[in-house]
Amino acid sequence: MTTTDLDSLAALTRDYAAFQSRKSGLATALGGFMAVVLVIAALSPNFMGVHVLNRLLVEFLVWIPLLWLVAKEIIGHLVYRGLGPVRALTDVTYERRRWGWILGFSLFLLAVLLSALYAFASSLLVAHQPHAALQPPPMWILVMPFLYLLAMPWGIRGIEEARAYVVLVGQCILWLIPFFLFSFGPPTPPMKTGWGLFGDVLGVSILVLIYTVLIWGALAMVRGWKEHREYLAILRALPREP
Amino acid sequence: MSKNGPDPRAILDLDRVVHEPARLAILTVLASAEEVSFLFVQRVTGLSKGNLSSHTQKLEGAGYLETVKAFQGRIPVTSFRITEDGRAALRAYHQQLRALLPKEGKP
């Protein structure tokens, strides 16, 4: 047995194990596709004259992240665990980098969401001022979710992959809240009162968010398919059954 | 190591549990992951079930691996995990072998 043989044995094991930790292959491609559909459906309430964004569809969209998680598990079991479970070694650098990305993305999403919710709530309250003795919430309340988010990595440490899912699924569900509010709020929400510069920043942020999700979705589809081909290459590289 | 190169008798010091090709392959696979299923080790090494069982028993006897038995639903799944002793033995074996092999370009 040569060192090349040993190296390739080690590489095959690492590559196969990666499909049970950080690579999801076809599930990644499906996730990208679902994200693109989600954005397009949300942006096209009237697609070719049909009122697409009705309450039923919005309720269905909310479940998409959870449906994706279920699909991911099923695909993982059916496609990528044919040779039994192989638990990968923990890559500290990769984990740290991944958490950096997740936290950065989560902070950005939270900022957009909170701006949207705050602006919406404020404008709604301004519009109903004569009838309600309510006041807009104080600004410091907006800091609370960030504190929660910053503490989360320690709170859910040791749950392996689940922690990433907790964050991402949570984000996706949170992201849909504004759609709910804008879809089922008052028929003519007073959008033009009390927005100003806040509204401009919010508009740009939402635009950036939409493009980010669309680009991420497209990249995920390509990456997922590429990963799936890598998996097929692993199977081809294995010796024939004795 | 002697003045003129590696001591030829050093080859006798190699860990014979690790030196056997099938066991070396098994340990290499196990060292590349946290826990590996029986089926995967069998497929990747190309060993028969009987051969693999016999070699893993020897490695377990030497304290180089642990067998983990679990159930996935109703199906029993056997997996292996390399121990710290196993990792150390594999590392030592690589170092010894590297010291014994001639340098590149020299016969």
B47 touches chain A (CB under 8 A): yes
Residue, of A73 and B104, whose pLDDT is higher = A73
Q: Which two tokens stand for residue A231?
A: 């998996």
Give the model's pLDDT for residue A32.
87
Domains of chain A, by residue range, sit at 8-237
* Cβ–Cβ < 8 Å for A85, B37: yes
* Cβ–Cβ < 8 Å for A225, A27: no
The sign one gets for the Cα dihedral A223, A14, B96, B101 is negative
CATH annotation of B8-98? 1.10.10.10
**To the nearest whole angstrom, how far is the Cα of A66 from the nearest Cα of chain B?**
23
Task: Tell me which chain B residue has its CA closest to the CA of residue A77.
Answer: B72
B96 touches chain A (CB under 8 A): no
- Chain B interface mutation, best of A3, A19, A86, A238, highest count of B Cβ atoms under 10 Å: A86
DSSP state of B64: S
Which H/E stretch holds residue B35?
strand B33-37
Partners of residue A18 in chain B, C-beta under 8 Å: none
Place A73 in a pLDDT band, splitting at 50, 70 and 90: confident
List the beta strands (DSSP E) in chain A: 46-47, 50-51, 86-88
Average pLDDT, stretch A214-232? Answer: 91
Q: Across chain B, what does the average pLDDT equal?
A: 87
pLDDT digits (tens, 9 = 90+) for B65-83: 999 998 877 888 899 999 9
Partners of residue A92 in chain B, C-beta under 8 Å: none
| Measured distance CA(B101)–CA(B107) in Å, rounded | 10
Place A183 in a pLDDT band, splitting at 50, 70 and 90: very low
Task: Tell me which chain A residue has its CA closest to the CA of residue B47.
Answer: A242
Q: Which two tokens stand for residue B63?
A: 């304290």
